[in-house]
Every structure is written in structure tokens, then in C-alpha cells.
Amino acid sequence: MNSLYEPTTIAGLALQNRIVMAPLTRNRADAMGVPKPFVRDYYAQRAGAGLIVSEGTQTSFAGQGYCRTPGIHTPEQVAAWKSITDAVHARGAKMFMQFMHCGRIAHPLNRQIPDAPVAPSAVRPAGQMWTDQQQLQDFPTPRALETAELPALANEFVTAARNAIAAGFDGVELHAANGYLLNQFLASNTNLRTDGYGTTLQGRIRFVVEVVEAVAAAIGAARTAIRVSPGHMFNDIVDANPLETHSALLDALPTARMAYVHVMLPDAFSPQLNNAGDPQAVLPTLRPHVKGALIAAGNLTAASAAAMIESGLIQLAVFGRPFIANPDLVERLKGGAALTAPREQLFYTPDAEGYSDYPPLVA
């Protein structure tokens, strides 16, 4: 018997198996951040998973960075998500929503409001991002958040969490990985604040801890999760000591009562690591700092996932890219079937093609 396919319970949440669909930004929302009708089909097709984590979803128009990403801050968005969670629940999976405030990883052309993108500090990321209007564009320099703005920003996550619960989600995952706003607070190269919310280790973790506590107080710690990616350099994140930063963060969070801690392994896309040392050391280093469920993503296979679960290193195994072209991924892994390769050129395009049109092996 392979534990990967066995039901389990984490933080009181009964799951039909231990396979999680990773958050995957696919840019299939309309200009007002409402998921298009075929988004429901896409998630329902993949609800053989025990748990689905939604694509990164903005908590306000100010949190948007990319074109065509969805939100959870208007009644139309909440209604669209409710039809999606209903369809996912009907097939037996649970669903969390990932909250993605992009911070400095944003371009004005991708946003519905004229305000400049905000970040802990006015540090411009190296590199460029896609805009539908003018293709690749340099990142602008963000505006540094005022200290007085931080309580309202934390409250934005609380309101979004209440909206997500109203939309039928089983919980929310705060995106503190991959270089977005919460990760920008954590990392030493993006947080130069001197107001108690930066510079020192305790200062850099403070806002993230406050947001988690505020969301947990509103919807319950058991419905609150966090995603981190120590050592991952995506979006120009270069922390001086990512394992120290994340160990301190996890020690400060109520992980015993939270739904789970989700780690994206730093070598998921590139062997280039930021001071995290050996990628194999990330989970064993963080494990003692997580008092509840630890889950992980990054090039897992059925065999590696089962081994990590059986050794107690992680409780759930998270798959990202394999779910894109294999809606029935759980069945395929279980049966040892070949996996279809995704069409990468359609990852972020606006239509159903390359999205909800991948067939299962047995229709």
C-alpha cells in the first residue's frame, strides 16, 4: 500500500489522498480579475487531488502585478470562485486559495488602478515582466510603504480571507514565496526598512507574522497556511541567510495550529541557490521548526513523494507542472501511466487552449 494514495487528515481537514495540486498562475481572468467560465472546468478536472491550492490571487487591485490574474475582493470575483469551489468539492477535493500580493513584481500596464506598486523598500527588481500591451517591460521602482499603511494592508488580507471562506474555500495560503510582497519583507536585499519592520531578522519577519496572526484570528489558524521558498532566487530575491530567516519565521508562527507550511524547494526551476546551501538540506533544516503539517513541491515524482511521506519528512506531496497537462494526475501516478508534457507556450495565454483542453487518459 502506497501512502500517497491513502486518505489523511491535516488540521481537521479530511483529504481523499496526499497529493496536492500546486498554485499555478495561468492568467485566465478577465480585466476585472474575475475567473473566466472555463476556469471552473480546469479546476474540476484536477479535483482527483486531495487538495487543490488555487493560483496566486490578489487581495486588492493594488496587489495585482501580472496581467489577467484573478482577485478575491469584489462580489463578482467571489461569485465566480464559489462556482469553482462547488465543482471541486463535488469531486471530493478540498481547496485553499493562495493570496498573492505581488508588491514590487508589478507593471502599471497590468493594473486596474493608477497607483504605483508598493514594496517594503524602494528597491527596483532586476529584469522585465510581460504586459499584453507592450510585451516585455522593465520593472518600475516601487514606492516604499509608510509604516502607517501597514495595519490597513494586513487588514486587506483579513477581508480577502473572509471573502475566500464566503466563496467556499476550505482555507487560505499566504504566498510568502517566490519574491512577492511577503517574501520582499523577509529578504535582506528587498527590505531595508528602519521602522521596526526590517533590517534585523526579527524586523524582517514581523509583518509576515502579523498578517498570519490577523488572518488566523479572523478565519481560524486551522484554515490558515503559508508558502515559503527559502533559497529560491526568482524575482531577484537574495537573502543573506534564507534558512536562518525562515527558521526564525516558522518559530514565530503558530504552526502547531495552522493548516500547513508549504515549502517550494529552491532548485525547482534552477540549480542556482541563494545561500541556502544544499537543496536537500532545506526540508530537514526546517522540519523541526514546523510543529504541524509540512508539505513540499519541486520536481517530485511518485517515488520521491512516497519516500518523503513515509519517512515523515512531509505530510503531503505537491505537484505543479505535472498537473497542467495531466488533469487525472493522481490516477496516472497510481497506475504508473506516462505523463503528457505541457505546452509551455500556452502557460500564460488567455484562452481555454492549453488549459482546460488536456484530456484524461480515460475520458
Q: Minimum distance between the CB of residue 321 and ligand FMN, rounded to whole angstroms?
A: 3
Nearer Cβ to ligand FMN (144/225): 225
Q: Which C-beta is closer to ligand FMN: that of 55 or that of 156?
A: 55
Query: Measured between alpha carbons, how far is 297 from 353 in angstroms, rounded to an integer?
Result: 26
* 179, 320, 327, 354: residue in contact with ligand FMN (rule CB under 6 A): 320
Amino acid residing at 296:
A
Per-residue contact track with ligand FMN, 63 to 102, x per CB under 6 A? -----------------------------------x-x--
> Per-residue x/- marks for ligand FMN, 6-45, CB under 6 A?
----------------xxxx--------------------
Minimum separation from the CB atom of position 62 to ligand FMN (A): 18
Give the strand pairing for 128-131 and 135-138.
antiparallel
State which residue, 24 or 333, has the beta carbon closest to ligand FMN. 24
Q: Of 77 and 178, which has the nearer Cβ to ligand FMN?
A: 178
Hey, what's the cell of 207? 509583518
Q: What is the largest CA-CA distance in the chain?
A: 58
**Closer CB to ligand FMN, 56 or 231, in the complex:** 56
Count CB-CB contacts under 10 A for residue 137.
15
Q: Exactly one of 43, 45, 50, 55 binds ligand FMN (CB under 6 A); which one?
A: 55
Window 142 to 181, contacts with ligand FMN (CB under 6 A): 175, 177-178
Using the contact rule CB under 6 A, the part of the chain among 131-139, 189-197, 216-224, 298-306 near ligand FMN is 298-306
Q: What whole-number distance in Å separates Cα of residue 175 and Cα of residue 186?
A: 12
- Minimum CB separation of residue 299 from ligand FMN in Å reads 4
Q: Report the C-alpha gap between 305 and 322 in whole angstroms.
A: 13
Is-contact 116 140, C-beta < 8 A? yes
> Taking contact as CB under 6 A, which single stretch among the options 2-10, 126-134, 142-150, 313-321 is the one that binds ligand FMN?
313-321
β-partners of residue 295 are 262, 316
Alpha-carbon distance of 277 to 194, in angstroms, equals 29
In angstroms, the CA 176 to CA 178 distance is 7
Residue whose CB is less far from ligand FMN, 55 or 170: 55
Using CB positions, name the residue nearest to ligand FMN: 320
CA distance 317 to 329: 13
The residue type found at 155 is: N
Query: ∠ CA 315-253-187 to the nearest 5 degrees?
Result: 100
Q: Which stretch binds ligand FMN (CB under 6 A): 11-19, 186-194, 245-253, 319-327?
A: 319-327
Shortest reach from residue 263's CB to ligand FMN, in Å: 9
SS3 state at 142: coil
Rounded to 5°, the CA angle 320-292-57 comes to: 40
Specify the residue, 278 or 344, whose C-beta has the smaller distance to ligand FMN: 344
Q: Please, are residues 57 and 102 in contact by the beta-carbon 8 Å criterion?
A: no
**Contact region for ligand FMN (CB under 6 A) — 81-89, 142-150, 157-165, 318-326?**
318-326
User: How many Cβ atoms from other residues are within 10 Å of residue 209's Cβ?
Assistant: 17
Which positions from 218 through 277 interact with ligand FMN, judged by CB under 6 A? 227, 264, 268
Minimal distance, residue 19 CB to ligand FMN, in Å = 11
Active site residues: 180
Distances (CA, A) of 175 to 56, 102, 165, 283: 8, 9, 17, 18
DSSP annotation of 209 reads H
Q: How many residues of this chain bind ligand FMN (CB under 6 A)?
A: 23
Q: Which residues contact ligand FMN by CB under 6 A?
A: 22-25, 55-56, 98, 100, 175, 177-178, 227, 264, 268, 297-300, 319-322, 347
